[in-house]
Structure formats: C-alpha cells, structure tokens
A and B are shown apart, each in its own frame.
Chain A
C-alpha cells in the first residue's frame, strides 16, 4: 500500500516543483532550490525510504493550500467526517435491515415492490445530486434546516445544549442524504438473505415444532440472515467514503470529503491528496479486516483461518 502510494505520486507526470512555481517566472537555479527543499534532488530509493520513515512518524508533508502539515489539516477534519459517516452508517444499516426483513416476510406485496423500486432508483442517483435536491426542498424552499456548514457562526458562547441542537440541525440533511443513498442496498441484501434463510432446514424444523411464525423469524431467520449485512457494512465503507466526498462538498461539511474537494481544486495539492488517499485506504482495509474477524466470531461455520 505504502509502496504504491509513494510511486503513484512520484512516477506519474506532473512535477511538484513545476506546480509550485508555475505562476512565477523562475530561473533554473530557483527550481533547483525548491527541489532541494522538497528533497526531490536525491535518488528515488532514498526518497522512498524517507517517505516510509516519515509516514511511520505521522509526518505526511506540508499542504500546498493550507501551508500547514498535512497531518494537522487532516486531523482537524477527521471528527466531523467520523460523526457524519457514523450516524449515516448506523441509520442506513438499521433502517435498511428492517425494510429488508419486512420485504422478505411480505414478499410480493405492494410495499415490497415499492421498496425494491426505491432501492433501484436510489442506486441510480448520484449522492450529491440527492443532497442538492434535499437542500432545495428542505432548506431553501421550506427553510426547515440550514443549507451548509456544521454550526451557525456566532454561537461559540452559547450553552452546550444550544450548540448540540445546532449541530444536530446541521447534521440532519447530509446524514439523511447518505442514509437514503445507502438504504436500498442494505434492504436488497437483507431481503434476499432472509428469503434464503427462510428455506433452510432448521427453519422448517422450528415451524414443525409448532413455533409461531413471528418467533421463527426472530429466533432463527434473522440472526442468520444478518451475517451478509456485516460483510456489506465493511465493504461499503469504501462506497460511503466516496459518498462522503461529494455530499460533504455539497453541504460544506468541514470534513475529509470537503478537504478532498479543496485539495483537487487547489493546485492539485498533492501532499494533501496523498495523505487523504492513504487514510481512506487504510481505514477501508482495517474495516475489511475487522469484518472478517467479526464474521469469524459470529459464524462458527467459517472457523478460524
């Protein structure tokens, strides 16, 4: 991972020293100076090991746009994103799972068909456009929620309660956007998973024992059907991260996604992009690992690999 991240940014065209100095007229000697300052005059392998060492120490370079260390810039934007994604993931998983169970139970009903159609449509929708539509409806036309940012300016001295309510108001629309965007997939997976589990032998056995249908569903079907959702939740983190980039941009949410947008349009700001890409990748890889381990604990059939 680190190896690729390093070479991706070095080998491919686009010299940082050229980007940094492109607006001014510079002599070749100035370019050499900038190169030396950035450490670009040394052999590639030396640069590579420097990069490994720096990353291990948490030093990711200086952002061109903010003129501050990348780790500092990212650190400041981390929590808003964790908050937004956390709320959205929990919301989408819970609601999506419930819709899925219900759809499988009442298979073929009008509500089931409607939820399938809904899943298809939300899948076809770019998340940021959904966000724009929600802002147009609920924030601009109805004025129920604020359009952007994480808090109202000038509330720094207000009581903690007021600030909390304010943050929640700002959180609502972006979180709703992501929940709606993700919901459909969870519902679909849960639906097919429940339908599959309902045909298992142990479910027939439970019914044969004279167990009530609702109890069969709760005790035997749902716990087993939930397993694929665990995997999906982890695999989806990559997708959620993608959604967060555009949704945060639309809502000016001060998180990593908006930071990515600013890094793209500010140069591009390579050190910052590199840091963000590293963080996103590591987060997703860890989520996959965690899901594997969790699944191993939840499902004895998988065993310990």
Chain B
C-alpha cells in the first residue's frame, strides 16, 4: 500500500472547492450587513414554507370569511381585516409564498437566458456575439416595465407567465456581465492548453468557463431576485397578476381598488408593503456582502 500516492485530480478539486467555499462563508459571516440580510430572508423563507400550516385554507375563504369587513387591528385580528373580512395577517403570510415563488422562478429564467446568451456571446464572439449583444442592448434600452406590461397583457394572467415576463425583461444585465468575464477567461492559458489537448467547445465551456463565471452569476442572482419581487408586486398591483393567487402585490391591488387609502385603512396597506421592503432589503444586503467577497477592492480598509 502506498500512502504517498498522489490524490486523484477529482479529490484535489473537491478539497480546493470546499476550502474556497469555507473562506467565502467566513468572509460573509464577517459582514454585518450580509448576516442581517440573510437573517431577514431566513425568516421570510420559513414563513413562506409554513404558510399552508399557519393559515388553514378555510380562513381565506372568500364567501365565508372569519371576520367583519375592514376592521382595524384587534386582539383577534392582529393586523385587521380586508374588505371581505379575512385577516390581513393571514393574507400577508399566504402572500409571502407566491411573492417569493414568483421571484425565484423569474430569477431562474432570467439567469438561464442571461448566462446562455452571455457565455455564447463571449465565447464564440464574431458575428454571433455581435448579434447577441445587439439584442441584449435593445433589451437594456427599452423601458422594462412598459415592455413587461405589454408582454403580460398579451400572454395572459398566470403565475408562470408573470415569472416568464420578468425573466425576459431582466436577463440583459447578467448577459453583459457574464460576457465580459468570459471574454477574459477564454484567453487564459489553461483554456488554450485544453484546446491544444483537443478538448471540444462543450468540454471547455463545461469544465473551465462555467465554474469560473458561476460566482458572478450567483452574485447577480441575488440582485435579480430583488428586482423580480419588486416587478411582480408592480405587475400584480397594475392588475396583471394571477387572479387566483394571493401575493403581496395583489393584496395591495385589492386594497387600492377597495379605496383603503381614502378610508384610512392603514392596516391593509402597510403590512404587505413593509414585507416587500424587508425582503428586497434582505436580498440587496446579501448582494452587497457577496460583492465584497468577489471584489476585494470593495472591502473596507
């Protein structure tokens, strides 16, 4: 038995990755902002996961609501009731599920498009790259909410459509960043060496390019989730959301339609908005912390 045998390439790679992950996690833990953001997000994700347990479906019944309509907060309804007599607290808890779900789904779509276009544009260059970048620029210039409105109005109202629309309008930023990174990566010596050894484009992209742009894509993801949740809220508020599900945006839509503002029904308007602010803030704070890990120049001296 030879205990001095060199560890396999795979094992080396794994220890290296684990070490990199640990050092990133340590840096993240040192950032007060990042930890606070992560804590906020953990609370809301837990809330969303437990929503069905915390809020039995019967309490959200439209025809047989538990309370009187538009009551201010009381010991029974901590955040008052809506125009149908449902508890606003229940609605907000239930809404966290859809808001986060659409946010994550939209971000996944956005990242897939962005990474695909960014990597192809950067790696292949030439006329393909030029055409892809033209398209990206076009999407960057077009005001994104009007585009989202138009797409949502044409495609119809469902959760998936909303997520798809948000994905379609938010990918260009990622594509640009990824392309820039790929452009520098593909000139690195190890890529050249892999090519000299006869590696195919697919192998080079999967082995060398993708692992190196992944941290960048991940950091971008966090910021895009924030944008996606805000956009979902806005689209739902404008009446383009799924009419059969409750999200923070759709709560605000019905509050607005029922005249909660002029009735002074603050308990109906404040909680969903506050949740949005907290969640988006949580993502932004995590995003800043990750930026500092990826770009040491940003770290505080």
Contact = CB atoms under 8 A, between A and B. Distances in A.
- Pair from one complex: yes
Contacts of A239: 143
B144 to A, nearest CB: 7
Interface string A138-154: 00110000010000000
B38 interface: no
B146 A241 contact: yes
Contacts of A51: none
Contacts of A237: 143
A245 B142 contact: no
Contact of A120 (B142, B151, B281): B281
B234 A126 contact: yes
Interface of A: prevailing SS: helix
Contacts of A246: 234, 237-238
Nearest to B281: A124
Nearest to A117: B281
Given A123-B284, A281-B142, A261 B238 contact: yes
A287 to B, nearest CB: 10
Q: How large is the interface on B (under 10, 10 to 19, 20 to 34, 35 or more residues)?
A: 35 or more
Contacts of B153: 264, 268, 270, 273
A141 B156 CA distance: 38
Interface of B: prevailing SS: helix
B273 A12 contact: no
A125 interface: yes
Give the interface centre of B141, B156, B266 by most chain A CB atoms within 10 Å: B141
Contact of A238 (B144, B270, B280, B284): B144
Interface in A223-248: 237-239, 241-242, 245-246
B269 interface: yes
B150 A129 contact: no
B147 A277 contact: yes
Contacts of A242: 143-146, 234
Contacts of B284: 120, 123-124
Contacts of B141: 238, 284-285, 288
Given A133-B273, A260-B149, A280 B143 contact: yes
A265 B152 CA distance: 12
B264 interface: yes
B281 A132 contact: no
A139 to B, nearest CB: 8
Contacts of A13: 154-156
B150 A273 contact: yes
Contact of B154 (A12, A129, A238, A250): A12
B238 A245 contact: yes
Interface string B228-261: 0010011001111000000001001000100001
B71 to A, nearest CB: 17
A124 B256 CA distance: 20
B277 interface: yes
A276 B146 CA distance: 8
A140 B263 CA distance: 8
Contact of B261 (A140, A238, A277): A140
A136 B150 contact: no
Contacts of B240: 264
B226 interface: yes
Contact of B264 (A8, A141, A250): A141
Nearest to A238: B143
B239 A264 contact: yes
Contact of B276 (A126, A133, A264): A126
A281 B150 CA distance: 12
Nearest to B147: A277
Contacts of B75: none
A13 B154 CA distance: 7
Give the interface centre of A8, A126, A136 by most chain B CB atoms within 10 Å: A126
B146 A281 contact: yes
Interface string A1-18: 000000011001110000
B234 A128 contact: yes
Interface in B102-156: 141-147, 149-151, 153-156
A249 interface: yes
Contacts of A124: 226, 230, 276-278, 280-281, 284
A171 interface: no
A8 B147 CA distance: 10
A82 interface: no
A134 B238 CA distance: 19
Closest 4 CB pairs of A and B: A242-B145, A238-B143, A124-B280, A129-B273
Interface of A: 8-9, 12-14, 120-121, 123-126, 128-129, 132-133, 135-136, 140-141, 147, 237-239, 241-242, 245-246, 249-250, 260-261, 264-265, 268, 270, 273-274, 276-277, 280-281, 284-285, 288
29 contacts: A12-B154, A13-B155, A13-B156, A123-B284, A124-B226, A126-B234, A129-B252, A129-B269, A129-B273, A132-B261, A140-B264, A147-B262, A238-B141, A238-B144, A245-B145, A246-B238, A260-B238, A264-B149, A264-B238, A264-B240, A265-B239, A268-B153, A270-B154, A276-B146, A277-B147, A277-B149, A281-B142, A284-B141, A288-B141
